[in-house]
Amino acid sequence: MANVADTMPDPMTGEDGIPLKTKLRIAERRNRIKAALLVLPLFAFILVTFLVPIGQMLYRSVENNIIADNLPRTIELLSEWDGNNLPPEPVFETMVAELKIARETKEIGKIGKRLNYEMSGMLSLFKKSGRKVRKLETGPYKEALIKIDKDWGDPEVWATIKQVSDRITGSYYLAAVDLKRSPQGEIVAQPDYKQIYVSLFIKTLWISLLVTMTCILLGFPVSFLLSNLPMRTSNLLMILVLLPFWTSLLVRTTSWIALLQSEGMINDLLVTIGFIGDDERLKMMFNQTGTIIAMTHILLPFMILPLYSVMKTISPSYVRAARSLGANPFTAFWRIYFPQTLPGIGAGSILVFILSIGYYITPALVGGQDGQLISNLIAYHMQSSLNWGLAAALGSILLAGVLVLYMIYNKIVGIDNMKLG
Amino acid sequence: MALPTYASPLERVWYYTFRGICGLIFLFLIMPILIIMPLSFNVEPYFSFTEGMLSLDPDAYSLRWYRDILENGMANPAAMGGEWWSDMWNNAQWVRAIRNSFYIGFFATLISTVLGTIAALGLSRPNMPYRNLIMGILISPMIVPLIISAAAMYFFYSSAGLAQTDLGVILAHAVLGTPFVVITVTATLVGFDHSLTRAAASMGASPPRTFFKVILPLITPGVISGALFAFITSFDEVVAVLFLGGLEQRTIPRQMWSGIREQISPTILAVATLLVLISIALLTVLELLRRRNERIRGMTPQ
């Protein structure tokens, strides 16, 4: 052996004279590139079709170009205005000119709508003025505009226009937490009748928490039973968990409507057995109760499956040891068995909680007025009120919450260990 | 968990109470799914059992709602023969929705399975750089609440001219389905014996040949179950369709959505029954795949 070592050149090289260390490094780098190249197509696909849209939506929650684009000169003049009395005549003159242009380009409705988010009455002010400024050819424009609508004589109107002239705004986020900027520039609470979002966020969290707790309460005994039965029986019973899991969400929501509505089966049954009278049928649908029951049913498998896989790994000898050392059944369960199930409870809870704070379909169908969650309001602003900035801001807040929970989940369970079905 | 012979009376009571509680929870899980099946044969347009149904009167049952799946929206349901069939195929609302669902589901599954499997192969290599970060990004579509994904894609796809097109919905569903493929295939590859690929290479097989002859047959169960997950995701998805799809892209869940909101009729129950049968079939396939996977890896259920 010594001979071989003597004949080897130092440092060790391959046949071609390149040191083995270098060759290894090259080979490793090539492997890393190969692995990255395999991931690249999907990464690019997700980037373009998913991450970019999400980023664009986040940007939309602070984007505010409509005023700056359409009333540029007015804003420039307004920036020199001190905000105390009415702005001087030139401001009115450029405003009239720019209103005429905005009417031509049909942007005037959008300007009015944007300003209306900050101060009610602005949309009708701009629409009305847009129609009438056409005939305005000569000054003085100040009197003429105030004659069209006396609101133009209100310094707050001008202060509001000045305030939303920035291209980046935090006002949608302020609105999403029931705050706004007063014309004087201070952050103040929205008027009482407009304060809905904070309480809705709290309600969403509360309902999600309730659903999570109910899932723990219902999921724990079932998982315990499943993990302690012989394989053959537990596999059969598992079907009862997996079938709902695989059944369409809308199917399950439909059947809850059939069961819970006031002419539904549960009420019929209760009336038939004489538990309640025909005129006192329980109202279990189109309110929070309906939302909670249906969501619990839909999310329960997400609690049972992780809990089951954790309980499956708990060795029965610990509890037996505790019993033989004199612990009563309850102590043995609570002090020995239960702590070992905590990772499963944690994983299941976070999963259920994440899914329920973003829930949309079930509350929209069975929630009625009372059972709506934050997602439903995002959809409302997306589709009906078309206040996309606010929808994006509400969505971003929700997204931030979910991502925090997801990181916690990743810390506890690790995404690699996520199991499906 | 059999009851030991030395159990105290209290333990006996608890043992049966516990089983009773579990029975009730299982009932809660499965009853809503089973209850709609008999209801879908109701002859009356109600969502509850009539007296005739309870007394098992054959006249109280009918297939009219199943017929309605085929006929609802047809120009002339009274026509005969070939005319009826083409009318049904082209005009019936539910038939159109079923066709759309399979069409969109098929292509979305194809895209997510191919991209997801290739990515999983890269992710499970030991020298993948930034593995956790990339994995987190790749499965983010599963984590982000659907309403946010749908809203974001709506803005983006509208500006790209993809809103209200088949392609837009297919791409959206493909994105939502990929995490499931990535997760299942990566999980299958964890137990993969890499000496097999080295053996193939040492015998002179090229990398593509190794992939198709050695790797793919072994990971097929994982790929198929990933594909099934991706398919069911698309098949069951309604939020993205609500935002991105137009009338032409109505899928089964989208049709059910408007059915529940606008004109609730037991036709929905008939469709729901068919969907439950589909999920039973899917569940069976998945179970068979799982068993095959365990057999291949030499693991038998205890």
For the segment B44-65, what is each residue's pLDDT rounded down to a tens digit? Answer: 887 777 777 778 888 888 888 8
A339 CB contacts (<8 Å, ≥6 apart)? none
d(CA A65, CA A228): 62
- Rounded distance between C-alpha atoms, residue B37 and residue B17, angstroms: 30
Model confidence at B300, pLDDT cuts 50, 70, 90, reads: very low
> Residue A64: pLDDT above 80?
yes
Name residue, tokens 């905005």.
Answer: A102
**Backbone dihedral region for residue B38 (phi beyond 0: left; psi -120 to 50: alpha; all else: beta):** alpha
Rounded Cα distance between A394 and A379, Å, is 10
CB contact under 8 A, A358 and B148: yes
**Contact assignment for A418 to B144 by CB distance below 8 Å:** no
- Dihedral sign, CA of A120, A122, A127, A128? positive
- Statement to judge: residues A202 and A143 lie in one domain: no
Phi/psi region, residue A33 (left: phi>0; alpha: psi -120 to 50; beta: rest), is alpha
Helix (H, G, I), strand (E, B) or coil at B69: helix
- Split at pLDDT 50, 70, 90, the class of A417 is low
Q: Is the pLDDT reported for residue A10 higher than 70?
A: no
Both A48 and A104 in a single domain?
Answer: no
Q: What percent of chain B has pLDDT over 70?
A: 97
User: Quick one: pLDDT at residue A7?
Assistant: 54
Exposure string (b/e) for B212-221, b if CB count within 10 Å is 16 or more?
Answer: eebbeebbeb
Averaged pLDDT for residues A310-322: 89
Rounded mean pLDDT, A16-42: 88
Residue A357 covered by a domain: yes
Q: Is residue A366 part of a domain?
A: yes
pLDDT for residue B69: 85
Tally of domains within chain A: 3
Q: What is the dihedral of CA A139, A142, A148, A154, to 10 degrees?
A: 170
**A233: in domain:** yes
Same domain, A112 and A223: no
Q: Do A365 and B145 touch (CB under 8 A)?
A: no
**Region A384-412: what's the mean pLDDT?**
89
Token pair 């260990």 in the structure block, residue: A417
Task: Assign residue B73 a region (left: φ > 0; alpha: ψ between -120 and 50; beta: otherwise).
Answer: left
Per DSSP, the three-state class of A180 is: strand
Q: How many domains, chain B?
A: 1
Residue ranges of B 57-96 with Cβ closer than 8 A to chain A: none
A46/A71 same-domain check:
no
Residue of A nearest to B134 (CA): A43
Does B163 contact chain A (CB < 8 Å)?
Answer: no
State the Cα–Cα distance between residues A332 and A404, nearest whole angstrom: 35
| Secondary structure E strands in A150-206 | 179-181, 187-189
Residue with tokens 């099946």: B37
Of the residues B55, B144, B162, B228, the best mutation for testing chain A's interface (the one with the most A CB atoms within 10 Å of its CB) is: B144
Is the residue at A393 inside a domain? yes
**What span, in angstroms and rounded, lies between the C-alpha atoms of B241 and A339?**
43
In chain B, positions 199-228, which contact chain A (CB-CB < 8 Å)? 225
- Return the ∠ at Cα B185 (arms to B182 and B187), rounded to 5°: 100
Q: How far apart are CA A157 and CA A161, in angstroms?
A: 6
State the pLDDT confidence band at A1, using cuts at 50, 70 and 90.
very low
Q: Do residues B177 and B234 lie in contact, with contact meaning Cβ atoms separated by under 8 Å? A: yes
Q: Is residue A189 part of a domain?
A: no
Residue of B nearest to A249 (CA): B236
Based on the domain organization, do A47 and A96 belong to the same domain?
A: no
Mode of pairing for the β-strands spanning A187-189 and A179-181: antiparallel
How confident is the model over A374-382, as a mean pLDDT?
91
> What confidence tier does A65 reach under pLDDT thresholds 50, 70, 90?
confident
Q: What is the pLDDT of residue B90?
A: 82
> What would the mean pLDDT of B214-239 be, rounded to a whole number?
89
From the list B9, B29, B302, B32, the residue with the least C-alpha distance to A221 is B29
Q: With contact defined as beta carbons under 8 Å apart, do B168 and A381 qualify?
A: no
Complex-level ipTM = 0.85
pLDDT of residue B295: 75
* Residue after which a domain boundary falls, among A38, A60, A82: A60
In a domain, B138, yes or no: yes
| Residue A120 confidence class, pLDDT cut points 50, 70, 90 | confident
List all residues of chain B from 20 to 49 with a beta carbon under 8 Å from chain A. 21-22, 25-26, 28-30, 32-33, 35-36, 39, 46-49
Inside any domain, residue B13: no
3-state SS assignment for residue A63: strand
A89 shares a domain with A51: no
CA dist A179 and A188 (Å) reads 6
Domain that holds residue A132: 66-168
**A274 to chain B, closest Cα gap in Å:** 17
pLDDT tens digits, A194-242:
788 999 999 999 999 999 999 999 999 999 999 989 888 888 899 899 9
| pLDDT of res. A409 | 81
Residue B134 lies in a domain: yes
A377: amino acid identity, one letter: L
Which residues are within 8 A (CB) of B152 and not within 5 positions of it... i.e. 6 or more apart? Answer: A50, A53, A54, A56, A57, A395
> How does the average pLDDT of chain B come out, rounded?
87
A146 and A274 housed in the same domain:
no
CA gap A244, A252 in Å, rounded: 8
In the prediction, which pLDDT does B2 show?
A: 66
Give the list of residues 6+ apart from residue B280 with CB closer than 8 angstroms, or none.
A243
Q: Is B162 near chain A, with CB under 8 Å?
A: no
In the predicted model, what is the mean pLDDT of residues B11-20? 91
User: Is the domain of A242 the same as that of A160?
Assistant: no
Residue A183 is assigned to a structural domain of this protein: no
Q: Give the pLDDT of residue A420.
A: 53
pLDDT at position A418 is: 57
Q: Assign residue A326 a region (left: φ > 0; alpha: ψ between -120 and 50; beta: otherwise).
A: left
Q: How far apart are CA A131 and CA A136, in angstroms?
A: 10
Confidence of residue A415 (pLDDT cuts 50, 70, 90): low
Q: What is the pLDDT of residue B231?
A: 93
In the chain, the amino acid numbered A353 is F
d(CA A292, CA B180): 27
Chain A / chain B CB contacts < 8 angstroms: 264
Of B1, B11, B118, which is closest to A38 when you measure between CB atoms? B118
In percent, the amount of chain A with pLDDT more than 90 equals 28
Same-domain check for residues A351 and A382: yes
Residue A271 within a domain? yes
pLDDT above 60 for A85: yes
**Is A254 in contact with B279 (Cβ distance < 8 A)?**
no
> Are residues A255 and A371 located together in one domain of the fold?
yes
Q: What is the mean pLDDT of residues B245-257?
A: 90
The enclosing domain of B289 has a CATH number of 1.10.3720.10
Q: N- to C-terminal Cα distance for chain A?
A: 57
pLDDT band, residue B302 (cuts 50/70/90): very low
Return the minimum-mean-pLDDT range out of A129-133, B179-183, B248-252.
Answer: A129-133
Average pLDDT of the segment spanning A98-103: 85
- Does A3 score more than 90 pLDDT? no
Q: Which of A231, A265, A383 sits opposite B48 (nearest CB)?
A: A265
Average pLDDT, chain A: 86
> Residues A239-255: pLDDT tens digits?
899 999 888 889 999 88
A347 and A202, same structural domain? Answer: yes
Residue A217: per-residue pLDDT: 96
User: How far is C-alpha B203 from the geometric centre of its chain's CA atoms?
Assistant: 41
Tell me: pLDDT of A48 over 50: yes
Q: B123, A391: Cβ pair inside 8 Å?
A: no
Asked whether residue A97 is assigned to any structural domain, the reply reads yes
Which residue from B121, B136, B184 is facing A38, i.e. has the nearest CB? B121
Q: For A391, which residue in chain B has the nearest alpha carbon?
A: B151
Per-position b or e across B164-183, b if 16+ CB within 10 A of its CB:
ebbebbbbbbbbbbbbbbbb
| pLDDT for position B86 | 83
Q: Are residues A127 and A143 in the same domain?
A: yes
Helix axis angle for A197-228 and A288-312, nearest 10°, is 40
The residue segments making up the domain with residue B162 are 101-187+218-293
The closest of B221, B234, B115, B187 to A415, measured between CA atoms, is B187
